[in-house]
Structures are given as C-alpha cells and as structure tokens.
A = this chain, B = another copy of it.
Amino acid sequence: MKPVSILTLRRLSQYLQLILDAQKEMQEYISATTLANATGVHMTQVRKDLASTGVVGVPKRGHKVDELALAISEFLNWNDSTEAFLVGAGNLGSALLGYRDIFETKGMKILAAFDNDPDLIGTKIHDVPVFAMEKFSNLAQRLHVHIGIVTVPPEAAQPVVDMMLDSGILAIWNFAPVQLATPEDIIVEDVDWYASLAVLSQRLAVKLMKKTE
C-alpha cells in the first residue's frame, strides 16, 4: 500500500460525504462521473483517488454505494474508534464538542475536555465532562488516549502541546492559529482559519479587480 497524498485524503472524505447522502436516498450504485460532477474534481482523478482505497467498480454502473462507503471509511480508519481529549473548553471547544456524535461516526471519540477555568471544571459540555488541566497527563496515560485536540488561545497552545506529548499523545488536531514546534514523528493537523481566509480574501480581491478593469 503506497502512501497517499493529503489532497487525496481530503477528497476521499468529500466523496464519502456524497456517498453517504446517496446511501440515504437508497441508491445502489454511484459512479466516478457523478462524484466528479458534484465536486468539480476531474473524473480520472476521482478514479485514481478511489483506486487508492482498493475498490473496484463495474462498468456502466459504477461502484456499489455500500461497498464504497465502507472501503473509504476503512481506508481513513473511521471504523476503528480512537480516543481523544480536548483542551480548551471555550467557545470553539464547546462548538467542537457539539459535533461529538458525528466525530464518533468518523472514528474519533472525545472522552473528556480540559480547562483551567474553575467555573467550567466539573461541568459537562454536550455530555462531555470537563476536568482540570492537571488531570490530563494521568488520565491520558491510563486511558491510552492518542489524539489531543487543541482549542486554546494561541499563546497557550505550545505549552499545552508540550504537556500533551509528555502524556503520550501521538497526534494533535490543532485549532490554535500558531505554528507548533513538535518532534518529527508526531502528527500535527492544523485547522487554519487564517489561511482559509487568506485564500478567500485574495481571490475576492482579484475578482473585484478584474471587474473594474
């Protein structure tokens, strides 16, 4: 199994979303062409992406919806459950905890949240208990938690991450807008709103410029 590019992984997630929709509508087959039209990705690209999961389709029909959904889920490891802890139970952290059920269908189970606000500690947010930061290390090691979700303010992020790594965390899902310093073998996935905004603003600026020309 050869390693697959980040872009392919992102697209697979996109396809899966559409495939699950098709599944809800009781469709039996779905073709690469359909996925291509819906996403704007070239159809040969869709075929290559799907091929990397090992699925095979049938000519003239496409892929069996159920099989395809399963194959992509398996490939993304969304059928095994991986435990996660979230640090930073503010606005953004709470918003994320609101998605806990969906995350669970995607293989990530958020077991607990951590914060240092005394008003939050001991409460539950969207059914997830909030603990004091000091409890993180002990609990993470005992429960073999592998994923740390970072939703703290930027200045707090690096210390939190250092603490996470000391506690055996292997992968970081980082929502704080900072460049984290981590060892090479640690997986860091950034959700960078500013980068996203950068693309939006620049594209919009170019578009408006063309208009006035």
Contacts and interface: CB of A to CB of B under 8 A. Distances in A.
Contacts of A107: 201
B173 A200 contact: yes
A128 interface: no
A141 interface: no
A195 B14 CA distance: 7
Which among A80, A94, A179, A202 has the greatest number of chain B C-beta atoms within 10 A?
A202
Interface residues of A, number: 59
Contacts of A147: 200, 204
A94 to B, nearest CB: 6
Given A17-B179, A94-B95, A170-B207, A198 B9 contact: yes
A108 interface: yes
Contacts of A106: 194, 197-198, 201
Contacts of A117: none
Given A177-B17, A195-B13, A203 B171 contact: yes
A183 to B, nearest CB: 12
Contacts of A195: 9-11, 13-14
If over half of A's interface residues share one DSSP class (helix, strand or loop), that class is named, otherwise mixed; here it is: helix
A196 B13 CA distance: 9
A122 interface: no
25 contacts: A4-B202, A9-B198, A10-B199, A11-B195, A13-B192, A13-B197, A14-B179, A14-B192, A38-B179, A76-B201, A77-B204, A78-B198, A90-B98, A91-B91, A91-B94, A91-B98, A106-B201, A146-B208, A170-B204, A171-B204, A173-B196, A189-B197, A189-B199, A189-B200, A191-B191
